[in-house]
Amino acid sequence: MQTDLGLIEKQAVKEIRTAPDLRALETIRIKYLGRQGQINLLVKQISKLPADKKTDFGRNLNLLKHKLADLITATRPKLEQNITKQPDASACLYALPKYGHFHPISITENEINRLFRSLGFSIYSGPEIETDEFNFRRLNVPLDHPARDLQDSLYIKEPEIVLRTQGSSIETRLLAQEKPPFKAAFPAIVYRNEKVTKSNHFIFHHYQGVAVDTAISLKDLIGTLDKLFKHLYGPRVIVRYRCKYYPEVEPGLGLDLQCFNCHGDGCALCKGAGWIEMGGAGLIHPKVMQMAGINPHRWHGFAFGLGLDRWTMAKYKISDIRTLLGGNLAYVPYLK
């Protein structure tokens, strides 16, 4: 099998850019990104590589996978436009196929993914059904910790198996599996027994990030978050960082965005505060590092967790989180 990633990328990019229609584009996607596609077949070959080549090859393969996926996503709308522009006399006889559009959360997630890839982060994922160890204990939240009461967990088998309550469970798995230094980001669907309101839901989306190196400080974390806020909402976005307690970080920060619905005056969406909490962050707690087998005296890191639903609502001026999980087509205007 061809293992020269440069040649594979060159050929795949050429095929995607010259795809004549959506059917051909889908065939190309399956060829490279499908279950039996070239990328997945190469993933299976990593174990056969020499130890000193596995990491670089795996990282480059992951970057290639996401580059091709992004290129296919960007190409699809152009081919859809061609369908409507073709002066085909038979169009009145045969109904054109209907194509869906990306959900606002997916669009926001993909945009954040692209930003963090450009900053050198890898994109990870993890299980939605999680163990107590990785969802709580490895985040410095033992069985008797009061923070557990705040999350109203949904258990599959109490007390050991739970629907993950936070994307940080992927962080604990990453810390246990990877050797520093590394930078990674990971979108995650999470579940809590929450009362559904304009700003809260029992199913919602997190976006987590973590970086571990020898000289990481709070300014690196705030600089990264500032770049993300400005990337999504523009250079004039108004944000604030509050000191806040989270068991897995020390010190901890609360991230607030001035309410886009009332511009700070106070409304039902922001519960009269004028600010919307967008997530939490901080420097990884030494105990979390120790439980993962990482020396906290040599390595330091930051972590952040964002409420992706709220980031999407702010981006598209959506005032009720409940509509994000509805079954209507309310968001077509946002996607034009």
Please report, for the domain that includes residue 272, its CATH number. Answer: 3.30.930.10
Range of the structural domain that residue 279 is part of: 106-335
Higher-confidence residue: 290 or 51? Answer: 290
Query: pLDDT tens-digit profile of 199-238?
Result: 677 788 999 999 999 999 999 999 999 999 999 999 999 9
329 and 218 within one domain: yes
Mean pLDDT of 250-259: 94
For 245-249, 305-309, 316-320, which range has the lowest pLDDT when averaged over its residues? 316-320
155 and 229 within one domain: yes
For residue 100, tell me if it sits in a domain. Answer: no
192 and 117 within one domain: yes
For residue 124, tell me if it sits in a domain. Answer: yes
- Whether the per-residue pLDDT at 93 is higher than 50: the answer is no
DSSP 20-45: -SHHHHHHHHHHHHSTTSHHHHHHTT
236 and 113 within one domain: yes
174 and 28 within one domain: no
For 39-43, 148-152, 264-268, which range has the lowest pLDDT when averaged over its residues? 148-152
Q: Identify each DSSP E strand in 34-181 by its residue range.
A: 122-123, 129-131, 155-157, 161-163
Contacts of 2 (CB under 8 A, 6+ apart): 8, 38
112 and 37 within one domain: no
pTM: 0.66
pLDDT on residue 99 = 60
User: Total structural domains in the chain?
Assistant: 2
194 and 59 within one domain: no
Q: Identify each DSSP E strand in 173-299 by its residue range.
A: 182-191, 203-213, 239-243, 249-258, 275-284
pLDDT on residue 89 = 47
pLDDT on residue 82 = 66
45 and 164 within one domain: no
Looking at the chain, the whole-number percentage of residues with pLDDT higher than 90 is 40
116 and 78 within one domain: no
For residue 91, tell me if it sits in a domain. Answer: no
Contacts of 156 (CB under 8 A, 6+ apart): 129, 162, 163
114 and 234 within one domain: yes
For residue 38, tell me if it sits in a domain. Answer: yes
Higher-confidence residue: 168 or 47? Answer: 168
156 and 50 within one domain: no
